[in-house]
Amino acid sequence: MKLLLLEDDAELAPALVAALRDQGFVVDHVTTIADADVLVSTSHHDVLVLDRSVPDGDALDLVDGLRRRDVATPVLLLTARGQVADRVAGFEHGADDYVVKPFALPELVARIRALARRQGTERARVLTSGRLELDVVRHRLTLDGILLSPTPKEFSVLEVLLEHAGEVVTRTELVERCWDELTEPSSNVVDVLVGQLRRRLGDPDLIETARGVGYRLADAPAAPPERAGR
């Protein structure tokens, strides 16, 4: 899942970005409303997490503008302004949820995922294909019932491949869904990451290459039953 985080606090922002990425999210981080508006217009995000008070204004103005342009991406406001009037204003301007600082990370993560489910941007909680099972909420991957430990980026790529099991996913789409805005689409980050995933999943190879296009998750048949001893 890809988030846009608008947060200008020099101490909070790096820690929050790192924590969200550890939870498996892809995070685009900006510090101004102007930069946030540009990214919303040029890139896909599943949820927008916006600090209200940033150097170039109140994020409610951004939310107003997005809703007038029929941008329906869920918005979670993250702010120290926790009075009832502030919360009501947030909802009236088109926000979907409101978290007051200081906050607990597990609650923030739960609220982000709830917003995504409500909007249908977080598809299934558990994705399966043959021997593979990926639990999106608990961030667990199993192969033949054995728990694996993928990196957050490996998890994100496999999630997209499982969502489109049997279909070719282009490198461009994988970059868009699984990397932040600083990644160069023509770089080989996707190929390197898929190589890591192949080594982690072992033989037979479960990820097929569509030469010049992208990758497809191959059928992952169930492991053959063990033969009974004589």
Segment 31-88, tens digit of pLDDT: 999 999 999 998 889 899 999 989 999 999 999 999 999 898 999 999 888 788 888 9
Q: Given the structure tokens 């990214």, which residue do they identify?
A: 39
In the CATH scheme, what architecture does the domain 2-119 have?
Answer: 3-Layer(aba) Sandwich (3.40)
Cβ–Cβ < 8 Å for 141, 151: no
pLDDT value of position 219:
66
Between 221 and 173, the more confident residue is: 173
pLDDT class of 116 with cuts at 50, 70, 90: confident
pLDDT at 117 over 60: yes
**By the 8 A CB rule, do 107 and 100 touch?**
no
- Report residue 120's pLDDT band, with 50, 70 and 90 as the boundaries: low
Which has the minimum average pLDDT: 7-21, 101-115, 125-139? 125-139
What pTM does this model have?
0.66
Q: Within a 10 A sphere around the Cβ of 4, how many other Cβ atoms? A: 25
State how far the Cα of 27 lies from the Cα of 21, in Å rounded to an integer: 7
Domain with residues 126-217, CATH architecture? Orthogonal Bundle (1.10)
Residue 186 binned pLDDT confidence (cut-offs 50, 70, 90) = low
- The tokens of 93 are what? 């301007």
For the chain, domain boundaries = 2-119, 126-217
| Average pLDDT of span 159-164 | 89
- The answer to whether residue 226 scores a pLDDT higher than 50 is no
Q: Check whether 176 has a pLDDT greater than 60.
A: yes
**Average of pLDDT values for 160-189?**
80
Q: How confident is the model at residue 220 (pLDDT cuts 50, 70, 90)?
A: low
* Arithmetic mean of pLDDT over the chain: 85
